[in-house]
């Protein structure tokens, strides 16, 4: 016959509290790691989207500018007035067919806009999530330097630049 209390039939209150504390710490660390990975995943998705927009926009602008007539490239300021130092957020040029085309930053909408050659003269969106666009034109060497910066959500600023050499005299 066994006596009551001589055997341990369960856990003590202290043992349960220690186990619950360990479980709470493990769950807290696990959820913190999960949330960090989740946030990183979405932040990287935003970065990839901005990089893709910048890359596509710079590629399209480079192709368009390569066909520009070198003597008919005009860099403008924010208001669309020709910049004397040939630096600014807006560029307009003549195509080999004689129509006018160009690119500019719409700061309010955070997008690069394109003036399609031979169209109605309206500016159409080319890339979004763009916070900065800058052109520098050197007529002596027939070069246009383009710098674009973009950002979306918590992606942080991403900047790409390229140099375009005009082909048409």
Question: pLDDT in tens for each of the 169 residues of the chain?
Answer: 455 555 667 889 998 999 999 999 999 999 989 888 888 888 888 899 999 999 999 999 999 999 888 778 999 988 888 888 999 999 999 888 888 899 999 999 999 999 987 767 789 999 999 999 999 999 888 899 999 999 998 888 999 999 999 886 6
The pLDDT value given to residue 91: 93
Q: Is residue 15 part of a domain?
A: no
Q: How far apart are CA 52 and CA 57, in angstroms?
A: 8
Beta strand pairing status for 87-88 and 130-138? antiparallel
The pLDDT value given to residue 23: 94
The pLDDT value given to residue 1: 46
The pLDDT value given to residue 6: 55
Q: Is residue 23 part of a domain?
A: no
Can you give the residue range of the structural domain that contains 90?
37-165
Q: Is residue 98 part of a domain?
A: yes
Q: Is residue 26 part of a domain?
A: no
The pLDDT value given to residue 36: 85
The pLDDT value given to residue 61: 94
Evaluate whether 129 touches 151 at the Cβ level (below 8 Å): yes
Split into its structural domains, the chain has a count of: 1
Q: How far apart are CA 72 and CA 139, in angstroms?
A: 10
Q: How far apart are CA 133 and CA 136, in angstroms?
A: 10
Q: Is residue 79 part of a domain?
A: yes
CA angle (164 as vertex; 81, 58 as ends), nearest 5: 80
Q: Is residue 1 part of a domain?
A: no
Question: Assign residue 115 a region: left if phi > 0, alpha if psi is -120 to 50, beta otherwise?
Answer: beta
Evaluate whether 125 touches 113 at the Cβ level (below 8 Å): yes
The pLDDT value given to residue 155: 84
The pLDDT value given to residue 43: 83
Q: How far apart are CA 154 and CA 39, in angstroms?
A: 10
Element housing 149 (H / E)? strand 143-150
The pLDDT value given to residue 68: 84
Q: Is residue 18 part of a domain?
A: no
Q: Is residue 117 part of a domain?
A: yes
The pLDDT value given to residue 5: 55
């Amino acid at each position: 016959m066994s006596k009551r209390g001589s055997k341990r039939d369960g856990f003590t209150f202290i043992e349960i509290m220690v186990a619950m504390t360990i479980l709470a710490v493990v769950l807290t660390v696990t959820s913190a790691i999960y949330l960090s990975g989740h946030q990183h995943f979405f932040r990287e998705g935003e970065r990839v989207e901005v990089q893709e927009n910048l890359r596509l926009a710079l590629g399209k602008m480079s192709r368009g500018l390569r066909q520009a007539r070198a003597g008919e490239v005009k860099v403008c300021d924010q208001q669309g007035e020709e910049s004397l130092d040939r630096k600014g957020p807006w560029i307009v040029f003549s195509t080999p067919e004689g129509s006018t085309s160009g690119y500019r930053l719409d700061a309010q909408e955070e997008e690069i806009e394109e003036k399609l050659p031979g169209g109605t003269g309206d500016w159409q969106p080319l890339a979004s999530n763009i916070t900065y666009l800058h052109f520098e034109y050197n007529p002596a060497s027939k070069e246009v330097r383009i710098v674009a910066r973009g950002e979306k959500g918590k992606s942080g600023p991403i900047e790409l630049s390229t140099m375009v050499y005009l082909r048409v005299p």
